Structure 1
Amino acid sequence: MPDNNNIIKAFSNLENVTASTCVQVCDLLSNSVAIFSSIPKLSKNITNCTCVKSIWEIFYKMNDPKNPPTCSAQIHITPFGLSTCKHAAFLNPNQTKIPQVALISVPGSGNSWTRCLFQSLSGILSGSVYWSQQNFEMGLYGEMEPWNSRRTTFIKNHEWPEQLKDNVPMKDEFAPHIDKFVVLIRNPLRSALSDFNRQSLSSHITGFHNMQDFTKQATEGKKRFIDIFNSQLDLFLDQTTRYTQIDKPVLYITYEDMIDNLFAQLMRIVHFLGLDDDVNVLERSICTILKNRRKQPTKRTHKIDPSQFARTLIDRNLTIKRLANIDRILRNSKLHYLRIEDYFADLGYS
């Protein structure tokens, strides 16, 4: 039941007050939600504003038979509400509630974005076996922490077979330190394009500005697109085979599923980590979705879509056979499946 102290009537029956004023008042009162209603009456608008401490109180408020909102009620999240999922901290290395979780993916699958979502959702810093200054500067402050310090979780690892850099563990050295695995998968054409951008332009986000530059780099550059695509398919199969056979808990999530229904996928992660009884995490989940939605319009700065040319570089028949094999392995394991029709269609196969 809602706590009446968490619901405040900011003002009622005032004439011609705007929704932005309601949001400002509730924000000053350190409330997450502003519920604003406006009722036309002759030449005036009679307005009401209710401030709600917790986002989750909305559900009770909307179903309160004694004081239901009017049909014209508008629900706004205040700047204070959006700040509730802003900060994340290191774990106490001696704690036992939060498991050590790995986030496994092929490069370009949305690993860094998923880590940012996790931090916003849980309030816990995500780690990595790699040290990326770029990721650190975007708010992944667990990036420079030793991956096995137990002060972070949701630890990024692509598990390339040739991982031989200093401080980067081989997969057989990594797995014994991990309690659970989250495996992130994405349309292989799109993940390869994203990683090709990273290797060519040092960024997943900034794309090529014209087709001539992309074509030249993809076919003549030091890192050709087809080489990246084929090596990623090899890694995709290797990871699928490995994590459908490992004797530890595994959760598969799909990049495209997160785009389509982020809340459902966040709840799957929350449940897998055993955090679904934490009211703060549930509150942060709504904040995370709203904050992510605000960022989406400026997320990508691609000037062109090179996928049509990229398809011409791929052996589509061989790729389709390999993806069908990966899908079969996943379905037989009953852990997950590929969005195979979508992936085939993106390859130009119908």
Structure 2
Amino acid sequence: MSFRFWYSSSCSVVCLALLYIVVFNGLSLYGLIKSTYTPVSLPTSRRNIYLAYLRYDRFLRKCKNPHLSKKPLPLTALASFPGSGNTWVRHILQEATGILTGSVYNDSILKIKGFPGEGIQNASVLAIKTHSELNATMKFKRAILIVRNPKDAILAEFNRMKGGHIGYAKIEDFKKDWKIHVNNSARNWFYMNKSWLNFHGDLHVIRYEKLKAHPNIEIQHLVDFLQINVTQKELQCVCGNLRGDFKRPARNITDPYTKEMAYILMTYEKQIDRLINQRLRYTKKENS
């Protein structure tokens, strides 16, 4: 009798767990599609989006369970042009430090999927996401600026606008809206980065490409800037869990940029590179 009772109870627990998993992921998927922040157009592959949100192993592979800071932290901007890896860096920061990141936005999907600090803009979070230019707010004491080459950043943002967080724009989207998007985004990329390079407080610049190529070195520089101690073991864990939940699946696509577009973006990128070098030289003089 006791065995039957135990067996029945075990089955009930398993069924409830499976029901929870199905409902939770179903609601998350529905929210991703219907989110006011993420356009309703679905990615090219529904299978990719389904599998990405069915990754339960992320709970097992977390380095730390992030929480709000128990002590007030300096208000720190995590600034970037859209499509430059802001969400990725937030994931890295939370994995490395165990402290939640905030945002000037309130994306319900990000809040559900690993960033419960969405919408928080106070001293309880490690850094606050923003895509605005510096003159939009002067409240920050220090800032992290993520700079990604404009061709990849502008394309990534176009895919997000048309295909959601982990989807891709369709061929018809490129035919209809791509040229206007590039024309508007090129100047925005330049002025957004230029404005933050004039930040009045301490500034740490992350080059997206360097972070991707040498994550252990760049993450160490990042946590040093934030004055947070991270052990080598913790750093190894972060480097082993770099991906996060919002990385777009790799896909080979034809370069959508015309020669004229590429030349304009290269010109803007060279100007920003010069400004970064000037800022770094100035910072070194201040510290010497």
Per-residue deviation at 1:299?
4.4
The corresponding residue for 1:311 is: 257
Amino acid paired to 1:152? V
Q: Deviations over 1:189-222 (max 9, x none)?
A: 111111111111122x2225xxxx32x21131xx
SS class of match (1:103): strand
SS class of match (1:90): coil
CA 1:173/1:238 → structure 2, altered by over 3 Å: closer, same or farther?
closer
SS class of match (2:241): helix
1:184 to 146, 150, 153: 146
SS class of match (1:292): coil
Greater share of helix: 2
**Conservation of the 8 A alpha-carbon contact between 1:207 and 1:304:** no
SS class of match (1:151): coil
Residue segments in structure 1 that go unaligned for 5+ positions in a row: 1-78, 161-170, 337-350
Matches within 5 A, 1:152-231: 152-159=125-132, 171-172=134-135, 174-176=137-139, 178-203=140-165, 205-208=166-169, 213-214=170-171, 216-220=172-176, 224-231=177-184
CA 1:197/1:324 → structure 2, altered by over 3 Å: closer, same or farther?
same
**Conservation of the 8 A alpha-carbon contact between 1:128 and 1:155:** yes
Q: How well do the aligned residues superpose, as a CA RMSD in angstroms?
A: 2.6
- Aligned partners of 2:249, 2:61: CA distance in 1, in Å? 26
Amino acid paired to 1:252? V
**Conservation of the 8 A alpha-carbon contact between 2:149 and 2:269:** no
**What TM-score results when the alignment is normalised by the length of structure 2?**
0.69
CA 1:125/1:319 → structure 2, altered by over 3 Å: closer, same or farther?
same
**Conservation of the 8 A alpha-carbon contact between 2:102 and 2:129:** yes
The corresponding residue for 2:40 is: none
The corresponding residue for 2:10 is: none
Greater share of strand: 1
Determine if the alignment matches structure 1 residue 253 to structure 2 residue 206. Answer: yes
Per-residue deviation at 1:322?
2.2
Following TM superposition, the consecutive aligned residue runs of length 4 or more in structure 1 with deviations greater than 4 angstroms are none
Residue segments in structure 2 that go unaligned for 5+ positions in a row: 1-56, 283-288
Determine if the alignment matches structure 1 residue 273 to structure 2 residue 226. Answer: yes
Per-residue deviation at 1:282?
4.4
CA 1:289/1:201 → structure 2, altered by over 3 Å: closer, same or farther?
same
SS class of match (1:253): strand
The corresponding residue for 2:81 is: 106
**What TM-score results when the alignment is normalised by the length of structure 1?**
0.58
Equivalent pairs counted in the alignment come to 224
Amino acid paired to 2:189? F
Amino acid paired to 1:317? Y
CA 1:240/1:84 → structure 2, altered by over 3 Å: closer, same or farther?
closer
SS class of match (1:102): strand
SS class of match (1:300): coil
The corresponding residue for 1:130 is: 105
Per-residue deviation at 1:180?
0.9
Q: Deviations over 1:292-346 (max 9, x none)?
A: 26x69x943354414x2x112753333322222222222233369xxxxxxxxxx
Per-residue deviation at 1:225?
2.1
**Conservation of the 8 A alpha-carbon contact between 1:206 and 1:302:** no
The corresponding residue for 1:116 is: 91
SS class of match (2:198): coil
SS class of match (1:131): coil
- Aligned partners of 1:266, 1:335: CA distance in 2, in Å? 21
Tell which structure's C-alpha radius of gyration is larger.
1
The corresponding residue for 1:346 is: none
- Aligned partners of 1:250, 1:330: CA distance in 2, in Å? 11
Amino acid paired to 1:189? K
**Conservation of the 8 A alpha-carbon contact between 1:100 and 1:179:** yes
CA 1:84/1:105 → structure 2, altered by over 3 Å: closer, same or farther?
closer
- Aligned partners of 1:318, 1:303: CA distance in 2, in Å? 25
**Conservation of the 8 A alpha-carbon contact between 1:252 and 1:335:** no
- Aligned partners of 2:272, 2:123: CA distance in 1, in Å? 32
- Aligned partners of 2:259, 2:160: CA distance in 1, in Å? 19
